[in-house]
Amino acid sequence: MYKIGVIALQGDVSEHVDAMRRALGDKGIVVEVRKAGEIPECDGLVIPGGESTTISTQLEKGGMVGELKDFVSRGKPILATCAGLVLVSSTIEGDSRVKPLGLMDTTVDRNAFGSQKASFEADLAVEGFETPYRAVFIRAPVISDLGRAVQVLARVEDKIVAARQGNVLCLAFHPELTEDRRFHQMFMSELEA
Residues labelled catalytic: 82, 174, 176
In angstroms, rounded to a whole number, what is the distance separating the alpha carbons of residues 82 and 38? Answer: 23
Q: 62 phi and psi, to 5 degrees?
A: -85, 0
| Cα distances (Å, whole numbers) of residue 44 to 98, 123, 132 | 23, 27, 26
Distance CA 163, CA 150 (A): 7
Measure the CA–CA gap between 51 and 33, rounded to whole angstroms. Answer: 17
The alpha carbon of residue 156 and the mean position of all alpha carbons in its chain are separated, in whole angstroms, by 17
Rounded Cα gap, residues 78 and 126, in angstroms? 19
Strands 142-146 and 168-171: unpaired
